[in-house]
Copies of this chain bind each other. A is one copy, B any other.
């Protein structure tokens, strides 16, 4: 029986992608060799890498605008330090909207003057800060567009003259914004793009080469650009499966089309939370995430009932993060509307049995 997979990440991928990915493991492009047994310099894999980077730029509408797409390793956590290593010379500003922003700021402090411009820590990060002033002399301003743990999301990107750097790990490719506002975007693959093991970095080339420190090769964006993400052996499987997911997204109408579906899924779920008195939302309404829906029971005595209903309906991955509690339904691109409806049915069913 089909599982309804609301896992926060690694998370659901399109069924077709999973199928093709397994087929590639057995036999890539009819070569009688496994994808994971061939040289990364082979024609088969070079085409996969080129296709993945091209699709990423195309889907984000960033072609021919001075950006390069890289598939690196180490997750967003490696980008926390790489962004600072490559770009922090005098002062960088961070907007703190949760656990991951906090870590990004902490790592940057290894490399220089990294300051917190605004924070929503005072309310356990249940909102996105607004009405703060941004220094004009920053090397960059860093934001986290979607906060997986807390279920908040920027619905307006801050206006700034500084280079804008963004951790977009949990909402890249899910909604249509003007991506050219950003000087650098990074995203761990394991939400909307592919399996864990690779990180997409989209970087405007002209922001690089301006710091005075030596940068080790593996941490230097310029080297990865020069080597087209092949400075050393790339994470072949993760790049391949990311390419398949980006192909799936393109075939299904791209970001505009998926955004419509994501809004529909989120609206249905938030409407249930707001209309069903057994539940309450965690994030401030105006900052609610289209990707991670955080909510709780109004009465914890119903927990056992609700958890059992979820299990019986084959719903998995809805436990909230320990720092928020309650529940979190992650409704990424690949999650069907039907799975959201199953969850909503269970939420409504709870009323009939208590």
Tell me whether A5 and B237 are in contact (CB under 8 A).
no
| A195 CB within 8 Å of chain B | yes
Q: By the criterion CB–CB under 8 Å, are B25 and A10 in contact?
A: no
Pairwise interchain contact B196-A36, C-beta atoms closer than 8 A: yes
Residue A254 lies at the interface, judged by CB distance under 8 Å to chain B: no
Give the residues from 68 to 97 in chain A that come closer than 8 angstroms, CB to CB, to chain B.
Answer: 73-78, 80-81
A234 within 8 A of B: yes
A19 contacts B by Cβ under 8 Å = yes
Q: How many copies of this chain sit in the oligomeric assembly?
A: 2
Whether B235 contacts A235 by the Cβ 8 Å rule is: yes
Q: With A21-B25, A77-B231 as known contacts, state yes or no: A31 contacts B7, CB within 8 Å.
A: no
Asked if A32 and B216 make an inter-chain contact with CB atoms under 8 angstroms apart, the answer reads no
Interface hits, A335-349 → B, CB 8 Å:
none
Which residues does chain B contribute within 8 Å of A234, judged by CB atoms? 196
The DSSP consensus for interface residues of chain A is loop
| A123 CB within 8 Å of chain B | no
- Of A37-45, A113-121, A265-273, A300-308, the segment with at least 4 beta carbons within 8 Å of chain B is A37-45
Whether A8 is near chain B, meaning CB under 8 Å from some CB there, is: yes
A233 B34 Cβ-Cβ under 8 A: no
Which residues on the B side are within 8 Å of A197 (C-beta)? 73, 197-198, 235-238
Instruction: Select A10's contact among B21, B37, B317, beta carbons within 8 Å.
Output: B37
Closest Cβ neighbor of A194 among chain B residues: B36
The contact of A237 among B77, B80, B106, B195, by CB within 8 Å, is B195
A11 proximity list for chain B (CB < 8 A) = 37
How many of chain A's residues touch chain B, expressed as a range? 35 or more
Asked if residues A39 and B7 are in contact (CB atoms below 8 Å), the reply is yes
Contacts of A5 in B (CB 8 A): 33, 37
A73's nearest neighbour on chain B, judged by CB, is B73
A269 to B77, CA, bound (A): 45
Q: Is A190 positioned at the interface, with any CB of B under 8 Å from its CB?
A: yes
A13 within 8 A of B: yes
**Contact of B13 with A19 in the complex, beta carbons under 8 Å:** no
Q: How far is the CA of A11 from the CA of B73 in the complex (A)?
A: 20
Q: Tell me if A12 is interfacial: C-beta within 8 Å of chain B.
A: yes
CB-defined interface of A231-247 with B at 8 Å, one 1/0 digit per residue?
Answer: 11111111001000000
Given the known interface contacts A197-B197, A234-B196, the answer about A77 and B38 at a Cβ–Cβ threshold of 8 Å is: no
Q: Are B218 and A77 in contact (CB under 8 A)?
A: yes
Which A residues from 157 to 175 make CB contacts under 8 A with B? none
Contact of A78 (CB < 8 Å), options: B77, B218, B236, B237:
B218
Q: What are the 10 closest A-B residue pairs judged by CB atoms, nearest first?
A: A197-B235, A36-B195, A73-B73, A81-B216, A77-B232, A22-B25, A22-B22, A196-B233, A75-B232, A196-B236
Q: Told that A78-B218, A80-B217 touch, could you supply 12 new A-B pairs with CB distance under 8 A?
A: A7-B38, A10-B37, A10-B236, A13-B36, A25-B25, A36-B195, A76-B232, A77-B232, A81-B218, A188-B233, A195-B236, A237-B237
Interface residues of A (CB under 8 A from B): 1-3, 5, 7-13, 18-19, 21-23, 25-26, 31-34, 36-40, 73-78, 80-81, 103, 106-107, 110, 188, 190, 194-198, 214-219, 231-238, 241, 316-317
